[in-house]
Chains A and B, each alone.
Chain A
Amino acid sequence: MNLNEYISSGILELYVYGALPEQESIAVTTELKKHPEILKEVEEIENALSQLSTAAAPYNPEALLFSIQQKITNKTNTATVREHPASQKKNNLVLYISWAASIALLIGLISVINQRNKLRENINAVSANNVQLEEQIDDAQNNAKKTKELLNVFRNKDIISVPLAGQDVAPTAYAAIHWDEKNKQVYVDAKDLPKPPQGKEYQVWSLTLEPLTPTSIGLLSNFNEDENKIFILENPNSSQAFGITLEPKGGSKTPTMEQLYTLGVIKNS
């Protein structure tokens, strides 16, 4: 016999329900005496049903025991002889039951209060957590919004992208400028510029060539704090090239050419 198949056939549940014909029931009893696995399964089923039924009881009927015992003794004994000890027993039992009931009630109350306090603490912790999560969601939404805006910029075909290569002072520096000529805005991607030293700032210049004329279009302020290192500046000029120099904080009127970090010329297509 395959034990697993036998167990999963569902016959054991019906056995515990008392829903099997007598002969089949006797056969199951024989099997469970032979196989501890079957006995264990039957015990588990019985246990589950016992719990389920207990949960469906209105309350624990402990208090009815006494009346049942009385009915049993009244039936088995002729009333007269045992009257006295029986009534004494009754008093003791009533006392015992009332004590037991009071103690049970007390224990019940204490455990309810404990549970309530625990639940309160849980609620507080959960709501604090909630606030944090909400803030995180807010941040994430803001970031997502920014990213989406930037994506739109980079996908716009009217945007002119100019790579700015590193110069003598910083050969490995790199930046890119995306110029939205129609809206007179540039997006400076400065991710690969080195951190400016204390008291200095990067300044972005629009250049026209022949003659070389630089016009400041703005500073990359708060460089270190900016997370994505993308800066948006106004550029109303008809630029031919862009350059970025390192200047004293607040910027300069004309670029300090020795501190030219990156430079890029717009290719006419």
Chain B
Amino acid sequence: MQEQPDGLIAELQAKNPKAFERIYERYSESTFGIINSIIHDKHLAEEILQDVFIKIWNNAEKYNSSKGRFFTWILNIARNAAIDKTRSKAYKNKQKNLTTEYFVDIIEEKTSLSSKVDAIGIKKYINVLKPYCKKIINLLYFQGFTQAEASEELDMPLGTIKTRNRNCMNKLREILTS
């Protein structure tokens, strides 16, 4: 269990380059995964990841802990940067058919060993998630949909999105701790 490294974040905000390195170490791989799940292109994902961390360095003082988690702050920057890219003309021309729950495919195809998490272990169980769980987590978390947008996209009543997502996340947490 990792807590939010508040001291480190304060150092980052004070423009300490060492703190930046440690923040990078801590958050870069998950951020890379978020970007990759949206953009579906390793090479572009690398580019975006670099932009995102430059932004984190330049705008660190804008993070306000009363508004949310540092993880969420980075998530927002990464998601926005990646989604912006998917809207660019060059990208649209390149990519046509994207499967919707791409994060599942990536994990299933993953072969790299150099990861901080046991991706092979996760890969074994990720398909235990119900199809609607994959959809709901993809939309709300990776694609940054609001509840209303997800409700429309999934054709689910707005009132049930929150609890369904909670159930799906509980399942995911079970998978990750097993």
Which residues from chain A sit less than 8 Å from chain B, CB to CB?
8-11, 13-19, 22, 25-26, 28-30, 42-62, 64-65, 67-69, 71-72, 75, 104, 108, 112
With A61-B49, A64-B46, A65-B28 known to touch, is A56 a contact of B140 (CB < 8 Å)? no
Q: Which residues of A contact B79 (CB under 8 A)?
A: 18
Contact indicator A56/B66 (Cβ below 8 Å): no
> Given the known A-B contacts A18-B76, A55-B119, are A29 and B65 also in contact in the complex, defined by CB atoms under 8 Å?
yes
B132-169 vs A, Cβ < 8 Å mask (1 yes, 0 no): 00000100110011110000000000000011111001
B20-33 vs A, CB cutoff 8 Å, 1 = contact: the mask equals 11001100111111
Report yes or no: A55 in contact with B57, Cβ–Cβ below 8 A. no
Residues of B within 8 Å of A16, CB to CB, are: 69, 71-72
> A44 to B1, alpha carbons, bound, how many Å?
7
Binary A-proximity of B29-43 (CB < 8 A = 1, otherwise 0) = 111111011000010
Q: How far is the CB of B80 from chain A (nearest CB, A)?
A: 10
Answer yes or no: B87 CB below 8 A from chain A CBs: no
Known: A14-B165, A52-B33, A64-B46. 8 other contacts (CB 8 A): A29-B66, A30-B66, A48-B173, A55-B33, A58-B45, A60-B115, A68-B50, A72-B20
**Alpha-carbon separation in the docked complex, A159 to B17 (Å):** 97
Contact: A19 with B140, CB < 8 Å? yes
Partner pick for A48 among B17, B37, B119, B176, CB 8 A cutoff: B176
Report whether A52 and B176 are in contact in the complex, using a CB–CB cutoff of 8 Å. yes
Q: Chain B contacts of A72 at CB under 8 A?
A: 20, 54, 57
Nearest B-chain residue to A108, judged by Cβ: B113
Residues of A within 8 A of B30 (CB): 49-51, 53-54, 57
B-side interface residues, number (CB < 8 Å): 66
Check if B28 sits within 8 Å of A55, measured CB to CB. Answer: no
Nearest 10 Cβ contacts at the A-B interface: A10-B166, A56-B33, A57-B33, A53-B33, A10-B162, A53-B30, A57-B32, A59-B112, A55-B119, A18-B72
Contact A46 B33 (CB under 8 A): no
A19-B145, A49-B141, A67-B50 are known contacts. Are A9 and B72 too (CB-CB below 8 A)?
Answer: no
**Whole-angstrom distance from the CB of B141 to the nearest CB of chain A?**
5
**Taking the nearest CB of chain A, how far is it from the CB of B19, in angstroms?**
13
Flag if A57 contacts B29 (CB, 8 Å): yes
Cα distance A67–B103 in the bound complex, in angstroms: 26
Q: Are A56 and B115 in contact (CB-based, < 8 A)?
A: no
* 16 A-B pairs (CB sep. < 8 Å): A14-B140, A17-B72, A18-B76, A29-B66, A29-B68, A43-B4, A48-B173, A54-B116, A54-B119, A55-B110, A55-B115, A55-B122, A55-B126, A56-B34, A59-B114, A68-B53
The B contact surface, by secondary structure, is helix
Q: Given A10-B165, A59-B115 in contact, is the A50-B71 Cβ separation under 8 Å?
A: yes
Set of chain B residues within 8 Å of A29, measured between Cβ atoms: 65-68
Closest to A25 in B: B68
What are the residues of chain A within 8 A of B46 when measuring CB–CB? 61, 64
In the complex, chain B residues whose CB is within 8 Å of the CB of A15 = 68-69, 72
Q: Give every chain A residue within 8 A of B24 (Cβ-Cβ).
A: 65, 68
- CB contacts (< 8 Å) of A28 on chain B: these are 68
Q: Is B88 an interface residue (CB 8 A)?
A: no
Chain A's closest residue to B56 (CB) is A68
Q: How far is the CB of A23 from chain B (nearest CB, A)?
A: 10
Q: Is B123 a contact partner of A55 (Cβ separation < 8 A)?
A: yes
In the complex the two chains form, what is the Cα distance from A67 to B46 in whole Å?
A: 11
Q: Is the CB of A13 within 8 A of B106?
A: no
Interface centre among B4, B32, B145 (most CB of A within 10 A): B32
- Whether A26 and B110, one on each chain, are in contact in the complex, defined by CB atoms closer than 8 angstroms, is no
